[in-house]
């Protein structure tokens, strides 16, 4: 079984500053990794995914993440945040042959002016 740990439940950050959201996972088999964003009263929107290949993955809205197999991490970064990035962010994994996403507990990002 897999598990996902998001190390920070809340991250306050000033507008135009960089942000990093940490995600570590545990699995005995190969996995695919995802980051989703959830705005208030909405569903989840896919930011980016890692399936294979280059370990640096670029997503929408200027986000990127780096897959580190040895550290079993998939941290999300953005070099300069906007007020509109205020939302909750979820890291998720799925077994390469599976059909069930396992989510971390989420990280709430609050961008301050």
Partner 1 sequence: KAGVTQTPRYLIKTRGQQVTLSCSPISGHRSVSWYQQTPGQGLQFLFEYFSETQRNKGNFPGRFSGRQFSNSRSEMNVSTLELGDSALYLCASSSQGWGGYTFGSGTRLTVV
Q: Which residues bind partner 1 (CB under 8 A)?
A: 32, 34, 36, 41-46, 49, 51, 90, 98-106
Q: C-beta of 84: minimal distance to partner 1 in Å?
A: 18
Nearer to partner 1, 15 or 59 (CB): 59
Nearer to partner 1, 1 or 113 (CB): 1
CA torsion through residues 95, 101, 105, 109, sign: positive
Q: C-beta of 111: minimal distance to partner 1 in Å?
A: 22
What does the alpha-carbon distance between residue 65 and residue 53 come to, in Å, rounded to a whole number?
A: 13
Nearer to partner 1, 46 or 83 (CB): 46
What does the alpha-carbon distance between residue 39 and residue 85 come to, in Å, rounded to a whole number?
A: 9
- Report angle CA 104, 88, 4 to the nearest 5 degrees: 10
CB 96, CB 33: distance < 8 Å: no
Q: C-beta of 113: minimal distance to partner 1 in Å?
A: 27
């Amino acid at each position: 079984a897999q598990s996902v740990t998001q190390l920070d439940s809340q991250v306050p950050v000033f507008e135009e500053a960089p942000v990093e959201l940490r995600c570590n996972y545990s699995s005995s088999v190969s996995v695919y990794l995802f980051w989703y964003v959830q705005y208030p009263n909405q569903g989840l929107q896919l930011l980016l995914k890692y399936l294979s290949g280059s370990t640096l993955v670029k997503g929408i809205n200027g986000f990127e993440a780096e897959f580190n197999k040895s550290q079993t991490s998939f941290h999300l970064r953005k070099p300069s945040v906007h007020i509109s990035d205020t939302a909750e962010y979820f890291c998720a994994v799925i077994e390469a042959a599976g059909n069930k996403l396992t989510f971390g507990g989420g990280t709430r990002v609050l961008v301050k002016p």
